[in-house]
Amino acid sequence: MKTKLRREEIEKLLSTSTGPLSGKRLAAHFHVSRQVIVQDIALLRANGLDIVSTNRGYVLQKQKTTHQRVFKVRHTEDQTEEELNLVVDLGGRFQDVFVYHRVYGLIRTDLKICSRYDVAVYMKEISSGKSSELLNITSGYHYHTIEADSEEILDLIQDRLQEKGFLAPLSDYEPVNFWEKHLEQRA
């Protein structure tokens, strides 16, 4: 079997396997040495495949499809922890927080909050008093890009934010109507 074809077959085997495939097993399957398999795996990785070596063999990391939506919200500092926990409890992941300021324009920072632990760490840091939340410069209004594994989870998050009274309408000076885009996608 030619080298290129063998590598394509290794990729197929890894992508359809339900568990790790050992180098010994792959070598026996292709009638080559384990060293040849190690070299093939190295070249497949160099070509962009995310292959992980475990103590039981090789595993192809499967890319999870993620979905994102921007939510405009308004709440007080005292409600921040409630908002963050509501979203992560439903399977959402905060990518960022940003505000549109009439004078300064867009002010944005990454959050990367994915769990209650991340929320607790964030709340401890922000409560130190050295800095304050961005929502303070825009009367509580701010945005979050939230990521989830499905549109259904994002819909549930949107519904719960609405129920809590956290969702906010867009203003004239805001450049993008995120809601219209989302409604068009749902129609």
Taking the C-alpha atoms of residue 92 and residue 35, their distance in angstroms, rounded to an integer, is: 43
Q: What CATH homologous superfamily does 67-186 map to? A: 3H domain (3.30.1340.20)
Which residue bears the tokens 């989870």? 153
- Left (φ > 0), alpha (ψ -120 to 50) or beta: where does 105 sit? left
Q: Which CATH architecture has domain 3-60?
A: Orthogonal Bundle (1.10)
Mean pLDDT by 10 residues, the chain (187 residues): 88 86 92 92 88 87 81 93 97 92 84 93 87 84 93 96 92 58 44
Domain with CATH 1.10.10.10 in the chain: 3-60
Q: Encoding tokens for residue 144? A: 């979050």
Tell me the β-bridge partners of 144: 71, 97
pTM of the model: 0.62
